[in-house]
Amino acid sequence: MNVTETDLAIASALYPVMVECARQSPPTKLTYGQLLDEAQKRFPENEAVLRAIPISLGRRLDVVRMFLNEHALPDLTSLVVNADTGEVGSAFGADPIHVREQVAAFDWSTVSEEFDLHIDGLRKEAAARSRPKRNRDDAKKLMSAHYQQHRAALPKGIEAHRELIIELLVDGWSVEDAFEAAASEVRKEAST
């Protein structure tokens, strides 16, 4: 799935609403419209959420599902139901009542930070896809200019990570981030 910034902005607003519903006994089911209304109330500054429509939430719930699957967690999206039937769609693929029992039994406070890290990771991947790529010669020129300008502030031994810096620059990283990644490697080596 090619995740967009809009997908991430909306998924990050939907997740805490679903977690709160999961903590209730029994877990509260929400229609797509109710889920979106609640997210809009909680995140009035999130433009993507404010512009969202219920019919587009399936894709955004897939972003949440990616996290849940990656960590082998109960499927929170079992709480989101169709307004007409009051139940998940046939594509859900599992017994929603059993899944909701698992959702209710799980301690969601143990994974709140992991979800934020998951979203941050997806955000970085999306940004990397949209960054302009550089050729090797341009990357070397950028690296050299930055090194000359900031030599005194750079950690001793960063020169050994020249190829890493060039590779990151070719991949579209900013020169500051590429040098910080190399500096991080120098610090790791120094601590071992």
Residue 136 has pLDDT above 80, yes or no: yes
Distance CA 142, CA 147 (A): 8
Q: How confident is the model at residue 153 (pLDDT cuts 50, 70, 90)?
A: very high
The shares of helix, strand and coil residues in the chain, as percent rounded to the nearest 5, are 70, 0, 25
- Give residue 18's pLDDT: 97
What's the pTM value of the predicted model, to 2 decimals? 0.69
- Give residue 134's pLDDT: 87
Report which of 91, 100, 98 is spatially closest to residue 26, judged by C-alpha positions. 100
The per-residue pLDDT for range 56-86, each reduced to its tens digit, is: 899 999 999 999 999 999 999 999 999 999 9
